[in-house]
A and B are shown apart, each in its own frame.
Chain A
Amino acid sequence: MDNSNVQSLSGRSKVVSDKKLSFVERLYLPAIFKGMVITLKHLLKRKATIRYPETKREFSDIYRGRHVLKRDDQGRERCTACGLCAVACPAEAITMVAAERKAGEEHLYREEKYAEKYEINMLRCIFCGLCEEACPKESIFLTTEIVKSDFLRDRFIYGKDMLVEPIDKPIDISKRQTPAVLAFKKEKNRKHND
C-alpha cells in the first residue's frame, strides 16, 4: 500500500524505512552524539518533581479533597442528619446517627435534629462530590485538603472529630461556590438557602 499521499495530522509522524545504512550511519557515533545532546538538554530542563511535604502541587479551587462539615456564622453545626448525602453517595461511604437537640444546646446545633455520629469511610469514598451537591443545609463540602496516608484501615473512618470544622479555624469554601452554583441555589428560594 502506498501511503505517500497520506497527510500527517499531528506533523510529528516520521516515515520509517529499512534502507541500507550509509557508512556514516553505520558508524553509529553521530547517532550516539545526537542522543547524548538530547539527554544533555534534559539535564538542564525544569524538573517535574515536586518536593512533597515542603511544596505542594497546586490544586484547583474546586478540587474535590477530604470533606468538611461546616458551621454557620454563629458556630453551630449546620448538619441536621437528614441522610441525603448518604443516599446520594454512590460508594456508600457515609453513615450517620441522628439525635434530638436538648434544651440548652441551641448554641451547638442549628436545628432541632443533629448528627450525633457522622462517619465517612475515606477508603470507600470516591470523592465524586455528590454529597456536597445533595446537601440541602450547605453543611458538607469537599475541600482542597487531601486525605493523609496511614498504616491502619480503622483510621480512615473519619468521625465528627475529623470532619466538623474547628470553631477557631473556619475553612473557606467560598471559592467552591461558583456563580453558577450560587445562582442555582438562590433560584430554589428555600429557607435553607439563607
Chain B
Amino acid sequence: MDQQFIIYKTVLALSIMLISLLVAMYSTLAERKLAAFFQDRLGPDRAGPFGLLQPLADGVKLFFKEEFMPASANKFLYILGPSITMLVALLTSAVIPWGDSLTINGQTYRVQVADVNIGILYVFAVVSVGVYGIMIGGWASNNKYALLGAIRAASQMISYELAMGLSIIAVIMMSGTLSLQEIVDQQKGFNWNVWYQPLGFIIFLICALAECNRAPFDLPECETELVGGYHTEYSSMKLGFYLFAEYINMFISAAIISALYFGGYHFPFEDSLGLSANMLTIVGMVVFFIKITFFGFVFMWIRWTLPRFRYDQLMGLGWKKLIPLAIFNMVITGLIVRLLN
C-alpha cells in the first residue's frame, strides 16, 4: 500500500462522512421547507437567505438544551443507544459506489471507500444493527412510551427487512454478484434494473420507507400516540443524534435505491459525450447525487401525503402482502434467468 492510496482513501472516507452529515443537516431544512410548500406555507425563512442557516440554528439549539437523563435510566445503555444509531447510519456509506474511477498521478482509484465483494450483504448487516440503537435507547429510558416505541420499531424493522431482502435477491439473481460496484456497472447507460424489476423496486421502496421509520411507517416515533416513541426521554444532542441518524439513513437509502435500481452514477448517452475518464466520473457523481436528491424528495413527498398506518395494517402489509409478493417476484425472476441462460 503506497502513501497516495492511504491518503486518497482517508480523504474519501472523511469527505463522504462530512457530506453525509451535511446532507443530513440540509435534509432537515428541505423536509421543513417541503412540508411547508406542500401545505401552502413558506417554511423557515428567517435564518439567513431562504432560511439556509436554519440547520445551524437548530444544531446550536440542540447543543444548548439541557442534557437530561431520567434517574432510573441505565446510564451506559442510555448513551449507547443514540451512539449506535449514529455510528450505524454513517457506516453504511462505506460500500456505496459514489462514482466510477478517478486517475490521479497515473494511478486509478475507485470512488468508493471499500469495494467489498459482498457489499449489499454488508449494507444489510449494518442496517440490521441499527435496530439495536433504537431498542437499547427505548429500553434504557425506562419509560413506557419509549419501550412501546422501541418494540414497535424492532418488530417493524424485522418484518420489513424480510421483504426487502427477498426483493434484493431478485436483483442479485439477475446480476449474479453481491458487489454494489458490479451491480451498478451492469446498469451502464440506460440499462437500469428498474425496467426488469418494477415490482421489486416498489417492494424495496416501501420497505426502505419502513426501515427508515418514515411516514407512513413512522409508528416507532408517532408523536400523536407515543409522545415521541423511543426518543421520548432524550434531549439535547442525544436526541439530535437520533433525528440526525434518521436523515442520514434516508440519504443512504436513497443512494442504495438509485444504485440498485436506477443505475447509480450511470446515465444515458454517457459514452457519446466524448468526455475524459476523470470528467465522466465527476459528471457521473453529480448524476448520482441528483438521483439521490430525487429519491430524498420522494421520501418527503410521501411523508407529507400519506397518513400513518395502523399497527395491524402495518404488520398485515408486511407479512401478508409484501413478503408473498417478493417471493413471487423472486420465483419469476429465477425462472426467467434460468430460461434465458
Contacts and interface: CB of A to CB of B under 8 A. Distances in A.
B306 A47 contact: no
- Report the interface size class on chain A: 10 to 19
A43 B305 contact: no
A32 interface: yes
Given A35-B306, A36-B301, A36-B302, A42 B45 contact: no
A177 interface: no
Contacts of A49: 36, 40-42
B311 interface: no
A41 B104 CA distance: 47
A32 B45 contact: no
Nearest to A41: B38
Contacts of B304: 39
A48 interface: yes
A40 B40 CA distance: 11
Contact of B301 (A29, A39, A45): A39
A40 B41 CA distance: 14
A20 interface: no
B34 interface: yes
Interface string B21-41: 000000000000010111111
A66 to B, nearest CB: 26
A51 B45 CA distance: 9
Interface residues of B, number: 15
B305 A45 contact: no
Interface in B105-146: none
A51 B42 contact: yes
A47 to B, nearest CB: 5
B200 to A, nearest CB: 15
A165 B50 CA distance: 38
Interface of A: 29, 32, 35-36, 38-40, 42-43, 45-49, 51
Given A47-B37, A49-B40, 20 more contacts: A29-B202, A32-B306, A35-B305, A35-B306, A36-B305, A38-B305, A39-B301, A39-B304, A39-B305, A42-B37, A42-B38, A42-B39, A46-B40, A47-B42, A48-B40, A48-B41, A49-B41, A49-B42, A51-B42, A51-B45
Interface of B: 34, 36-42, 45, 202, 301-302, 304-306
Closest 10 CB pairs of A and B: A49-B42, A39-B305, A39-B38, A35-B305, A43-B37, A36-B305, A48-B40, A49-B41, A47-B42, A42-B38
